[in-house]
Amino acid sequence: MKNHKVTIYSTTTCPYCVYAKDYFKNKGVAFEDKNVSNDRAAGQEMIAKSGQMGVPVIDIDGQIIVGFQPNIFEELLNK
């Protein structure tokens, strides 16, 4: 599996954010976690990229996925 640039926009109280982070950890994929509940700039960045205010928002190599969608994650990681 090639190296991917993955960013997860999350909050500390979001269970689907935890699922997403666990998914990438279990796959051995490094990611940057941006907690939008305590980082206003990260929140603005997330909204600009996705148009969404809900989390998780996952950026895989510039592809934006809203929500915990492991089938899509898998597809993008296997490209």
The per-residue pLDDT string of the chain (79 residues; one tens digit each, 9 = 90 and over) reads 578 999 999 999 999 999 999 999 999 999 999 999 999 999 999 999 999 999 999 999 999 999 999 999 999 999 8
Domain ranges (residues) in the chain: 10-77
49, two tokens: 């990229």
Judge contact between 67 and 53, C-beta under 8 A.
no
CATH 3.30.428.10 describes domain 10-77: no
What's residue 79's pLDDT?
Answer: 85
3-state secondary structure the chain: CCCCCEEEEECCCCHHHHHHHHHHHHHCCCCEEEECCCCHHHHHHHHHHHCCCCCCEEEECCEEEECCCHHHHHHHHCC
Is the whole-model pTM more than 0.85?
A: yes
What's residue 1's pLDDT?
Answer: 53
What's residue 3's pLDDT?
Answer: 87
